[in-house]
Chain A
Amino acid sequence: MSGLRLRSRGELPGMVRSIAGLIISIVIVFPLIWLFFAAFKSKGEIFQFPTRLLPLDWTFENYKELFRITQFLRYFINTAVISIIAALISIIIATCASYSLSRFHIPGGGVVAVALLLMYMLPEIVLGIPFMKIFLALGLSDSLVALTIAYISITLPFSIWMLRSYIESIPTALEEAALIDGCTRFQGFVRVIVPQAIPGIMATTIFTFILCWNEYLYALILITSEHNKTLTLGLSILLGETAIYSWGMLSAGSVLTVIPVIVLFVFFQKHIVAGFTAGAIKG
């Protein structure tokens, strides 16, 4: 009897939960839905009240203006190239390092692991100041090469942090079997561990790609010329410069910036979330 009473008092029926879930989801996605439709509204309509979600007349004016006023395509390509290169370089270094840290007890290995973690916790501005000076001295100021190197300082520690727990979860028995079959340790790594770790490697690569795609501070510090700007930097300058905010154009830029992230998220959602959680909470 008391069990029945408890159930009816303490637990919501499934229907109520689903509705609550729906409301929460709307809070999460509403800002982006608003942005998406605003990108197709005319200037007049954006400033019109009462307002509505869907555009009255769909227009591509905002997109046209965006490409006319800024070098948006250039920003997009810059961001994509830098993000891919930074993600690839760091995943290669990180896969080797993670394997080494999880399987060999090298003297000093523990120190390296701690240094990597601390680097991941570092405020970007602490590295940003010396980066500016160092790249200036190297003749690399205002270059995409400098920005890629700066991004690796974020993505490499992150990749190792995320991948190490993944590789540690792969049973050693598989490698041992390969060793017995006459593989060298290195062959065991390349032929057994790497294929086993592919889901983790994929998730990490995608996550670091998104980190670079979204990065703002280093781009702000290191990049000055128009043709080297990234999406975040280009849009932030547009946001600051357009005195009477051209929300339609900014919305259009935002939509184009966010689409690749959404596509990756939809396809790799489960892997990304699982891999990221493991990195954060499992030792």
Chain B
Amino acid sequence: MKDKTLGVILLMPAVITVALIGIYPIVNVVYFSLNKWDILDPSGTFVWFKNFGYLFTTVDFWNSLKNSLIWTVGSVALQFGIGLALALFLNKKFFARDIYRGLVFFSYLIPTIVIAIVFRFMLNDVTGIIAIAFQKIGLRWGWFSSPKTSMMSVIIVNVWKYFPFVVVCILAQLQTIDQQMYEAAKIDGAGTFQQFRHITWPFILPVVFIVLMLRTIWTIKNFDIIKLLTGGGPLDSTETLPILTYDTVFASFKLGRGSAIAVLMFIILMVASSLYLRLYRKYALESIT
């Protein structure tokens, strides 16, 4: 048997699986989005881009787009800031550092339902220990139950769950920096900030790009944190695009309109992913040479 034949055979199961449960469903959802569906017309009527046109006239869509933007930018910026600071911190030498390094990934793996339960428990204004502690210092926030604080609250939980990703990726890169470069810089009289600016930052920059891209993609498409914490409320204040898609299809039973939002999200994320892919390849090439 020729080598190439073996390669093709080994790849086949993956290709078939992707075709059946990746490409075929996508073709379906695109088809749904171009049709009008209702109970009287279960087989659908082809309406071209009417669902998309309708979408742009609704308040809900623009509200969700705005919320998605705040949700994504807010979450990614905070995750990155905290993650970078912690990665730099954990790269220093101190007692029991390795234990902390291990622990830092912890919240990333906790099921979202458990995180939702514990934060709704700790942040509700009757029994919540954190909410009550804030009340004691005069901050009577409604957290998830007030439209003023709901977006901030879901972002905090999102940051808490996903900052470890930033930490472990940047830390992995920091550990590959040659320590002699710092020694040399110190001899030349470079301060801590200058060392960061001229050695650390350029070195971790490719990973920073990749991490930002991945976190952005994953935050845009995130569904369960918001769904389980607020369900998109109160008063649609945390309704992002994935939540709107779900509600349109599974609560309002508007398959065509919901699919149209899904297709738009698909396009947005494919653009973002291609960007990620380019960075990934560029960096992969750099690390080989």
| A103–B4 CA distance with the chains assembled, in angstroms | 10
Query: Does chain A have a CB within 8 A of B277?
Result: yes
Chain B 251-267 residues near chain A, CB threshold 8 A:
255, 258-259, 262-263, 265-266
* Per-position binary interface string of chain A over residues 212-254, scored 1 when its CB falls under 8 Å from any chain B CB and 0 otherwise: 0110110011000000000110011001000001010011011
Instruction: Find out whether the CB atom of A129 lies under 8 angstroms from the CB atom of B258.
Output: yes
Cβ of A77 < 8 Å from any Cβ of B?
no
Number of interface residues of B (CB under 8 A): 105
A residues at B contact (CB < 8 Å): 2-3, 6, 9-12, 14-15, 17-18, 20-22, 24-25, 28-29, 31-32, 34-35, 38, 46-47, 49, 51, 92-94, 96-97, 99-101, 103-104, 106, 109, 112, 114-119, 121-131, 133-134, 149-150, 152-153, 156-157, 160, 184-186, 189, 210, 213-214, 216-217, 220-221, 231-232, 235-236, 239, 245, 247, 250-251, 253-254, 257-258, 261, 265, 269-270, 272-274, 276-278, 280-283
B105 x A134 contact (CB < 8 A): no
**Option from B4, B13, B26, B111 in Cβ contact (under 8 Å) with A231:** B111
Given A6-B186, A118-B273, the answer on whether A280 and B127 have CB atoms closer than 8 Å is no
Bound CA span A32–B121, Å: 11
CB distance B22 to A153 under 8 Å?
yes
| Proximity bits, B19-42, A CB within 8 Å = 1, else 0 | 001111110110010000000000
Majority secondary structure of chain B interface residues (helix, strand, loop or mixed): helix
**6 A-B pairs with the lowest CB-CB distances in the bound complex, closest first:** A283-B284, A104-B7, A10-B192, A123-B221, A97-B14, A17-B94
B10 contacts A96, CB within 8 Å?
Answer: yes
Q: Which of B3, B111, B269 contacts A121 (CB 8 A)?
A: B269
> Known contacts A51-B129, A129-B258; is A153 also within 8 Å of B21 by CB?
yes
The closest CB in chain A to the CB of B231 belongs to: A240
Closest A residue to B28 by beta carbon equals: A130
How far is it, in angstroms, between the C-alpha of A279 and the C-alpha of B191 when the chains are bound? 34
For A236, give its contact among B29, B99, B104, B228 (CB under 8 Å): B228
| A118 B14 Cβ-Cβ under 8 A | no
Residue in A31, A99, A160, A231 whose CB lies within 8 Å of B122: A31
Contact A280 B211 (CB under 8 A): yes
Is there an interface contact between B11 and A101, defined as CB atoms closer than 8 Å?
yes
Q: Known contacts A149-B21, A157-B18, A247-B121; can you find 6 more A-B pairs with CB under 8 A?
A: A32-B114, A112-B18, A121-B217, A189-B10, A254-B114, A282-B284
Complex: A211 Cα to B122 Cα, angstroms = 25
Chosen A-B contacts, 10 in total, with CB atoms closer than 8 Å, are: A117-B277, A121-B217, A125-B221, A125-B246, A129-B249, A214-B109, A214-B112, A232-B111, A236-B113, A265-B105
Known: A31-B122, A93-B13. A133 touches B28 (CB 8 A): yes
Closest to A93 in B: B13
Q: With A24-B100, A239-B116, A280-B210 known to touch, is A258 a contact of B8 (CB < 8 Å)?
A: no
Q: Interface segment, B49-57, B69-77, B139-147, B168-176?
A: B168-176
Determine if A156 and B111 form an interchain contact, defined as CB atoms under 8 angstroms apart.
Answer: no
CB distance from A256 to the nearest CB of B (A): 10
Contacts of B120 in A (CB 8 A): 239, 245
Closest to A35 in B: B118
**A270 to B: closest C-beta gap in Å:** 7
Bound Cα distance from A274 to B245, whole angstroms: 35
In this assembly, does B1 line the interface, its C-beta being within 8 Å of a C-beta of chain A?
A: yes
Q: Tell me whether B232 is interfacial, beta carbon within 8 Å.
A: no
Closest to B186 in A: A3
Measured CA separation A29–B246 after assembly (Å): 32
Kindly report which residue of chain B lies nearest to residue A260, judged by CB atoms: B111
Find out whether the CB atom of A184 lies under 8 angstroms from the CB atom of B1.
yes
CB–CB B104/A35 < 8 A: no
In the complex, A56 Cα to B223 Cα: how many Å? 38
A residues in contact with B227, CB < 8 Å: 216-217, 220
Q: Cβ of A122 and Cβ of B269 under 8 Å apart?
A: yes
* Residues of chain A lying within 8 A (CB to CB) of residue B228: 216, 236, 239
Shortest CB–CB separation between residue B206 and chain A, in angstroms?
8
Chain A residues whose C-beta falls within 8 Å of the C-beta of B8 in the assembled complex: 100, 104, 106
Residues on A with C-beta less than 8 A from B122 are 31, 34
Q: Is the CB of B112 within 8 A of A126?
A: no
Complex Cα–Cα for A125 and B13 (A)? 24
Specify which of A11, A106, A123, A220 is in contact with B11 (CB 8 Å cutoff).
A106
Check if B115 is an interface residue, CB within 8 A of chain A.
yes
